[in-house]
Amino acid sequence: MTTHVRLRRADAQGGADLARLVALYGGAARWMRSRGIVQWQPGGKDEEHFRLRMKEGEVWLAEAGGVAVGAYELWWDDEPAWGVQPPVAGYVHRLMMDRATAPPGLGRTLLARAERRIAEAGRELARLDCLTSNPRLRAYYEEAGYRVVGEQPAKDGGPGGASYGVTLLERRL
């Protein structure tokens, strides 16, 4: 049975979407931790984080049956990972889903929608990064048509910040 997923831009007004995004992030972080992936921290992103991402870029929320099942952030630049770049790409961040309620294939659906949005904005590349020490996630993105174009070594995450290296991937649209 196919579950209909509705994708829409998240809205900071009223706070309901902000709470949903915080919950999705927390659930994804706990799922990672349960599998030994040390990257996202439960409680590591609050409503203010998502409010800022909505102001500086776009945040998209996927719902099925009125329940938030996934989300992602779309940035129009990413200097910390990619350095100063010409405006030719969109950067997908925090692709996340609720493992208990998300329909199968939601990750690829969200990625395809992000790519479509990037192309609609007149940009030719979709870029993302993943934890260098997570070969399974890297393979997932490579199977989706992304190619490795570099690596960013671990940096000091600062007080309370995580420190880890990332693999840089991109896909021509």
Output b/e per residue, 23-32; b: 16+ Cβ within 10 A: ebbbbbbebb
With a CB cutoff of 8 Å and minimum separation 6, the contacts of 148 are 138, 142, 167, 168, 169
Distances (CA, A) of 27 to 3, 14, 107, 115, 144: 21, 22, 15, 25, 24
Alpha helices in the chain (DSSP H): 16-34, 47-56, 79-82, 106-120, 135-143
146: pLDDT strictly greater than 70 = yes
The pLDDT tens digits for 15-63 are 899 999 999 999 999 999 999 888 899 999 999 999 999 999 999 999 9
Q: Give percent of the chain above pLDDT 90.
A: 79
Q: Is 83 left (phi over 0), alpha (psi -120 to 50) or beta?
A: left
Calculate the average pLDDT of the chain: 91
Q: Residue 41: how many CB atoms within 10 A of its CB?
A: 16
Token pair for 167: 């693999």
- Look at residues 23, 45, 50, 24 and name the one whose alpha carbon lies nearest to residue 161: 45
Residues 6+ apart with CB under 8 A from 171: 115, 125, 126, 127, 144, 145, 146, 147
